[in-house]
Chains A and B, each alone.
Chain A
């Protein structure tokens, strides 16, 4: 027997997402307390990568579009954050982050409207051109955007009620993780709402969706703008954590790396975005250690992470298109009958993990 409050929490998407966010928030506060400053900084990196990856994975998995321009949206968010956070505007961190998201949404609306008219390789090529072209604007307006050197801001100061000796890195990790949790809350509720269902309808069959009364172009634009907003928040967090932004921080490679992150996590899965973010944070360190222990040359060790992203993209498409989260889910499905065979009542429980996924099979299986 499950108790009544638990059933309510499980039935209501809003309460369920709030519960997830609250638990994750408490866990993160406890974890950051025990990590040293370097690990906290890595957690902050993971937080902003997660924001971008979560937006991209919902775009690709739910609405079936692809964007190779997320790096450019990150640049918009990062530059807006620096402009708002530094003198003469000198807003504090959180309003600046809101400003970064608003600016990215404003850029994302026309780009998304254009993108909603494009399909497959046309969309990929246009967003690729966006990723290559936009950072060049910084060179065009050196006085306003700082040219090659970019813009810098002061480090965020922890509020005084946290104590005088509160470490900066832990505060940065908190900021980035708070952003990530907001993204989880918004995307979880969106994908489990009528909007999320309409995205999947558009993804699976555009013409059928249009015949059913959905305005396909608007739905796709909305999905694109949501993912752009996530990337803008990620970019703003990046600027807040690194205290710096420059055109060199947003090369074409970044956008392709982000794509590798969502593909390895599993397209459409928010938990997959966690795996992807962890990969993006830890892989450069691992390959560096590897290169050092085999005393490889600098050329090799610099390019090894990039090579691995390439292998990941190719290998995932050829061998394992559902990514890590898809693999875990398949293992879960294979194990569950054996478990439920032994303990009777468990067999009647609905498959929880599938309901949480936003990928095609999961959704079809759990939502008739």
Chain B
């Protein structure tokens, strides 16, 4: 029973991280109809930058802020320079392009920082809370993770629903022609959408790094799982991404606890395939017709 509670609690904390990755993917999909397969590499890169800042004497907070800012800049550059030309091309081109970007960023990180994984500090203690004499697997750092992700999700919801900037971003994503006629700088909004998404992704990178070690390839499973979470949520819906992330976090925590952590990516694949078999466009999405 204690194990079950432990797994549930740690599932909530990893689920929050998956939710952040899924949010990053969903924000980009909504604005540009591109699944950013480079997301895992981008958040790895910004986490390495944070690690470099912290190792050269900066505080954790400074590293955290630097990671978010570099994520914002990286997202904007990637959209403006690399993704913009293929936004109107067949979807396969964008898939291959972002995979190429993934490969390139992983290689560059390996060139700069080497392929040996290194440790990354956590914001708060990694010793679990003690309740009635038993130590839980849930730590102060997990509380921090969950609270930060909730805060970010709430801030994004506020941005998109209650501000004029959010309205313009939604307009640029859903009806670019009309939005352009109404004076919205559509290109700029798309760049901003990518930048925000990459910032959320880099947040997930900093949060997850203490538990997986930091190396060029160590975030590959996180990307896959984030993608599965986004698909569970329908790829189009930010609340769906958060729910998908939490559900998947719990499910994979049980798989990892009871069956072994090596099966986690495979379990994510099974969940993905089962969901897509019955709802080919995700759990939370509306049915859409395909056109001739």
Residue B131 interfacial (CB < 8 Å)? no
Residues of A contacting B290 in the complex (Cβ-Cβ under 8 angstroms): 206-207
Given known A-B contacts A136-B266, A137-B266, A314-B82, A129 and B224 have beta carbons under 8 A apart: yes
Nearest A-chain residue to B92, judged by Cβ: A66
Q: Is the CB–CB distance between A299 and B95 below 8 Å?
A: no
Residues of B contacting A263 in the complex (Cβ-Cβ under 8 angstroms): 96
Nearest A-chain residue to B290, judged by Cβ: A207
Interchain nearest-CB distance for B131 vs A (Å): 34
Given known A-B contacts A117-B277, A300-B111, A318-B86, A133 and B269 have beta carbons under 8 A apart: yes
Q: Is the CB–CB distance between B102 and A317 below 8 Å?
A: no
Given known A-B contacts A309-B103, A310-B103, A318 and B97 have beta carbons under 8 A apart: yes
Given known A-B contacts A122-B276, A126-B276, A303-B110, A314 and B220 have beta carbons under 8 A apart: no
Chain B 88-114 per-residue mask, 1 if CB under 8 angstroms from chain A, else 0: 010111111101111111111011111
CB under 8 Å from chain B, chain A span 213-272: 251-253, 256, 259-260, 263
Q: Which of B133-141, B169-177, B189-197, B257-265 contacts A (4 or more CB under 8 A)?
A: B257-265
Residue B120 interfacial (CB < 8 Å)? no
Residue B280 interfacial (CB < 8 Å)? yes
Instruction: Tell me which of B85, B91, B104 contacts A121 (CB under 8 A).
Output: B91
Residue B246 interfacial (CB < 8 Å)? no
Q: Is the CB–CB distance between B100 and A118 below 8 Å?
A: no
Given known A-B contacts A263-B96, A306-B110, A317-B97, A114 and B103 have beta carbons under 8 A apart: no
Residues of A contacting B291 in the complex (Cβ-Cβ under 8 angstroms): 207
Q: Secondary structure of the A side of the interface?
A: helix
Given known A-B contacts A140-B263, A309-B103, A126 and B273 have beta carbons under 8 A apart: yes
Given known A-B contacts A125-B35, A136-B265, A314 and B104 have beta carbons under 8 A apart: yes
Residues of A contacting B17 in the complex (Cβ-Cβ under 8 angstroms): none
Residue A68 interfacial (CB < 8 Å)? yes
Q: Is the CB–CB distance between A313 and B111 below 8 Å?
A: no
Complex alpha-carbon distance, A299 and B48, angstroms: 15
Interchain nearest-CB distance for B31 vs A (Å): 14
Q: Is the CB–CB distance between B96 and A259 below 8 Å?
A: yes
Sample of 7 A–B contacts (CB below 8 Å): A66-B96, A124-B35, A132-B221, A252-B217, A307-B103, A313-B97, A314-B97
Binding site for B on A (CB under 8 A): 60, 64, 66, 68, 114, 117-122, 124-126, 128-130, 132-134, 136-137, 139-140, 205-208, 251-253, 256, 259-260, 263, 299-300, 302-304, 306-307, 309-314, 316-318, 321
Binding site for A on B (CB under 8 A): 29, 34-35, 37, 82, 85-86, 89, 91-97, 99-108, 110-115, 216-217, 220-221, 224, 227-228, 231, 235, 260, 262-269, 272-273, 276-277, 280-281, 290-292
